[in-house]
Chain A
C-alpha cells in the first residue's frame, strides 16, 4: 500500500537534479505527478484505515508489499564460506551386463596403462571429488581426486595463472593434456557409459601429465588457441624414466567459431611425443599363452578432432545436437623384449629385437536432445591394426590385420542439471572372433557447487 510514496522517493533518489534549464518542464511534470500521487495516497490511506477497522484480524501482508519496503542498499557480502573453495562430489555407478572374458583387450594393440574395464553386474565407478578456487589475484587452483576402494588417485591438481594477460595462461602441476577433444573431459562428462576405443587404445582413459602447459588465445574473432606442454611423461604410451628434463611434449592448436546463431564448431590438431623404457605389457603370444613384453623406444601420435553443435536459436534447453569425431595416427619405434614363457607353454624365448608399428583409428558420435531432459546418441568406433613389425619376435607374437569396431547406442534422462541416468547398448567387436553384446545402466549425480562444463 505504501508503494506510491516509495516509488516517488526512489525516483527522486535515483535521479539527482540536473542543472540544465530545459529540465524545468520535466520537473514540473514530475511535481504534478507527485502531488497527484500524494492525493491518491491520502485517499488510499483513508480507505486502508477503514478496512483495518473492519477486519481486525487481517491476513499477513503479502510478500510483494513486504519486499517493496526494502530500501536499496549496497550489496553485502553474505556468504560465510566466501574463502572456501568450490567443492563438488560426483557419484557414479552402473550395472553392466557383459560376457565373461578373462583377458579383455583390443586385438592388435598393447593394453594401455591402468585400464580398469567395467565389472560385471553392479559396481561403483570412480567417485570424483573436485575442489577449485582462486588462490590470490594471480593464480587459481583446481584438484580432482578419483576415489575407488582402497585407492585414491590424483587425476588433476594444478595451479593456473589469471594475471598474465595477452591471452596467455600458464598451468603447472598434474593436469589432463589439452590434446584432442575428449581428453580434458572426466568420465562423468562423457556422453557414453564407457570410453571410446581410440582413447582406450591410446591412453587407457585419458592422457594426464605432471608438468607445465602454456596456452595462448589469439585476439581474433575466430577462436584460435595454441598450446605447448612439457611433462614427466610417466603415463602410457611413455613410462617413468627417472631423468631430468621433459619426458613428453605435446603441441596443440584449436580453431572455432559460430555459423549463424544456431551452429558452432571447433576443430584441432595435436601432437604427442614421448619415450618409453621397459614398458611392460602383457599380450597373448602365438601359442595363446600370456607373454610379458618390454618396449623401449619412442611413441609419437597425431590427433585431429572436430566438434559441431547445433541448437535452434542457440537455445539448447529444448533441443540440441552435438557431433564429435577424432582421428589418431601413432608411430612407435624401438626395441621389444618378449620374456621367456616356455615354462608355461609359451612361444617367447627372451629375444629382444626392433619393434615398429604405425596404427590409426577414429570414433564418431552424435548426441541428440530431442526433448527437455532426454538425449539419445550413437557412437561408432573403429581402429586399424596398421603395420606392426616385431622383427625376430614375429616368430612368437601375433601380427594381425583385424580392425576392431564397436557400435554403441545410448539413451539418457537428466531430471536436472545435476542428475543423469543412462542406458547404453553396445555391440563390441574389439577382440578378434568375439562379438559381444553389452548393456549398461548408469547414474551420474553431482553434489555441491555448479561446475561449468567446457564446450
Chain B
C-alpha cells in the first residue's frame, strides 16, 4: 500500500493540467462552457442526452471527475439532487462545494416557471424551486452564458479576457440565431401540443405553443394505460397537434397516444447530442425547430 501511495504521489505533478477542468452536469452546459472556454477549458459531461438527468448514479467515474474539476456547472433547482450532493461530498474537492466560486448553478440566473403552489410528494417529483429544464429556451442560455463567462473569469483569472471575448462573439451569433429561429417558428404560434414530461415548458413559452396535456399523471410518474386513455379522451375535446418527448424518454407512452389521437409523436433532442446534427447548441435548436415544423405539417 505504501509503495502504491508513493507511486501515485510521484506521478501527481503529471496530472496537473494547464486547462481548467469543467465538470458539466448536463451536455448543454458542457457545450456552453466549450463555446466560452475554447481551448482554455477541458469539459467533462457527466451525462448524455440519452440519460435522464433526474436519475443518475453517483458512479465512481463521476466522483473522480468531480475531484479533478475546477468548476462544476449544473442546472440546479433540485434537478441533480439525487446524485450531485454525493459526488461533491465524496470528491474531497473544496473548490467546487456549494457557495464557492467553483460551483455554478444555471437556474439561479433565469426566472423559473412551473413553481408549485403545493410542495408535497403526493404531487409527484415536484421541484420546489420551479421547472429546472431551462435549456429549451435559447434566451435562457444567453442569460446563463453571460453569468458563466464572468464565473469562468473568476475561477481562472488568467484567461478572463479570453472568456469575455469568446462570449461576446458567441452571443452575437446566438442573438442572430434566436432571431432566425423565431422567424422560422412563426407558424407554430398558438399551436396546441401534448408533452410526455414537463420537459419543454420553456420551449413552449418561448415559441408560444400551448401545452394542452401532459402524459405523466404527476411529474416523474409513468403513465398507466388507463391514464393514457383518459388523456386520449381529453384530446378529443381539446385536440393537440403533436406529442413531444425528450430523446432519453421511452417512446412507449407518446407513441401509444399519438396513434390513438392520430397525431405525430415528435422526439426532440432536449439537449446537445440528443439527435444527429446536435453536436453544438446551434444544432440543438436547428434540429428542435426542424422537428417541430415537421410535426406541425
User: Which residues of A are at the interface with B, using a C-beta cutoff of 8 A?
Assistant: 3, 7, 10-11, 14-15, 18, 20, 23, 26, 29-30, 33, 62, 64, 67-68, 70-73, 75, 78-79, 134, 137, 140, 160, 162-169, 215-226, 251, 253-258, 261, 264-266, 309, 311, 313-318, 372-373, 416-418, 447, 450, 452-455
Identify the interface centre among A11, A14, A222, A258: most chain B CB within 10 Å of its CB: A14
**How would residues 64 to 95 of chain B score, 1 for a CB under 8 Å from any chain A CB and 0 otherwise?**
11011000000000100111111011111111
Cβ-closest 9 pairs across A and B: A256-B60, A165-B94, A223-B60, A223-B64, A167-B92, A313-B50, A452-B86, A258-B61, A169-B92
Measured between C-beta atoms, what is the minimum distance from B170 to chain A in Å?
Answer: 11
15 A–B pairs (Cβ distance < 8 Å), ordered by A: A11-B179, A26-B172, A33-B183, A72-B111, A75-B129, A168-B92, A223-B60, A223-B63, A256-B63, A416-B125, A418-B121, A450-B78, A452-B83, A453-B86, A455-B60
Contact of B184 with A by CB under 8 A = no
Contact of B139 with A by CB under 8 A = yes
CB-CB nearest in chain A for B65: A221
Measured between C-beta atoms, what is the minimum distance from A1 to chain B in Å?
Answer: 10
Give the residue of B107, B139, B172 whose beta carbon is less than 8 angstroms from that of A18.
B172
Please tell me if the beta carbons of A75 and B112 are within 8 angstroms of each other in the complex. yes
Number of residues from B at the complex interface, CB < 8 A: 73
Give the residue of A215, A220, A452 whose beta carbon is less than 8 angstroms from that of B85.
A452
Measured between C-beta atoms, what is the minimum distance from B43 to chain A in Å?
Answer: 14
Give the residue of B81, B124, B211 whose beta carbon is less than 8 angstroms from that of A452.
B81
Please tell me if the beta carbons of B59 and A79 are within 8 angstroms of each other in the complex. no
Given contacts A226-B5, A313-B51, A452-B81, contact A62 B92 (CB under 8 A): no
Question: Which chain A residues border B111 with CB–CB below 8 Å?
Answer: 70-73, 75
Question: Which chain A residues border B125 with CB–CB below 8 Å?
Answer: 416-417
Measured between C-beta atoms, what is the minimum distance from A416 to chain B in Å?
Answer: 6
Give the residue of B57, B85, B107, B210 whose beta carbon is less than 8 angstroms from that of A455.
B57
Please tell me if the beta carbons of A219 and B12 are within 8 angstroms of each other in the complex. yes
- Determine the distance from Cα of A317 to Cα of B109 in the docked complex, in whole angstroms: 29
Measured between C-beta atoms, what is the minimum distance from B202 to chain A in Å?
Answer: 10
Question: Which chain A residues border B61 with CB–CB below 8 Å?
Answer: 221, 223, 256-258, 264
Please tell me if the beta carbons of A220 and B81 are within 8 angstroms of each other in the complex. no
Give the residue of B67, B139, B211 whose beta carbon is less than 8 angstroms from that of A10.
B139
Please tell me if the beta carbons of A314 and B50 are within 8 angstroms of each other in the complex. yes
Question: Which chain B residues border A79 with CB–CB below 8 Å?
Answer: 128
**How would residues 30 to 67 of chain B score, 1 for a CB under 8 Å from any chain A CB and 0 otherwise?**
00000000000000000110111001011111011101
- Count of chain A to chain B residue pairs whose CB atoms are closer than 8 Å in the complex: 192
Please tell me if the beta carbons of A254 and B60 are within 8 angstroms of each other in the complex. yes
Please tell me if the beta carbons of B204 and A64 are within 8 angstroms of each other in the complex. yes
Measured between C-beta atoms, what is the minimum distance from B273 to chain A in Å?
Answer: 11
Question: Which chain B residues border A261 with CB–CB below 8 Å?
Answer: 48, 50
CB-CB nearest in chain A for B66: A217
- Determine the distance from Cα of A417 to Cα of B50 in the docked complex, in whole angstroms: 20
Please tell me if the beta carbons of A217 and B90 are within 8 angstroms of each other in the complex. yes
CB-CB nearest in chain B for A228: B1
CB-CB nearest in chain B for A15: B175
Contact of B277 with A by CB under 8 A = no
User: Which residues of B are at the interface with A, using a C-beta cutoff of 8 A?
Assistant: 1, 5, 8, 12, 15, 47-48, 50-52, 55, 57-61, 63-65, 67-68, 78, 81-86, 88-95, 97-99, 107-113, 121, 124-125, 128-129, 139, 142-143, 168, 171-172, 175-176, 178-179, 182-183, 204-205, 208, 210-211, 220-222, 248, 250
Question: Which chain A residues border B15 with CB–CB below 8 Å?
Answer: 219-220
Measured between C-beta atoms, what is the minimum distance from B136 to chain A in Å?
Answer: 14
- Determine the distance from Cα of A258 to Cα of B61 in the docked complex, in whole angstroms: 6
Give the residue of B92, B97, B109 whose beta carbon is less than 8 angstroms from that of A216.
B92
Identify the interface centre among A79, A221, A255, A311: most chain B CB within 10 Å of its CB: A221
Please tell me if the beta carbons of A11 and B175 are within 8 angstroms of each other in the complex. yes
Please tell me if the beta carbons of A264 and B60 are within 8 angstroms of each other in the complex. yes
Please tell me if the beta carbons of A165 and B95 are within 8 angstroms of each other in the complex. yes
Question: Which chain B residues border A251 with CB–CB below 8 Å?
Answer: 1
Question: Which chain B residues border A309 with CB–CB below 8 Å?
Answer: 57, 59
Further pairs besides A14-B139, A256-B59, A418-B121: 16, Cβ < 8 Å: A7-B182, A14-B175, A20-B172, A30-B179, A71-B111, A163-B94, A164-B92, A217-B63, A219-B15, A221-B64, A256-B63, A313-B48, A315-B248, A450-B78, A452-B84, A452-B86
CB-CB nearest in chain B for A10: B139
Question: Which chain B residues border A218 with CB–CB below 8 Å?
Answer: 8, 64, 67
- Determine the distance from Cα of A29 to Cα of B183 in the docked complex, in whole angstroms: 12
CB-CB nearest in chain A for B110: A72
Please tell me if the beta carbons of B94 and A164 are within 8 angstroms of each other in the complex. yes
Question: Which chain A residues border B85 with CB–CB below 8 Å?
Answer: 452
Question: Which chain A residues border B175 with CB–CB below 8 Å?
Answer: 11, 14-15, 26, 30
Please tell me if the beta carbons of B50 and A224 are within 8 angstroms of each other in the complex. no
Measured between C-beta atoms, what is the minimum distance from B174 to chain A in Å?
Answer: 8
Question: Which chain A residues border B172 with CB–CB below 8 Å?
Answer: 18, 20, 23, 26
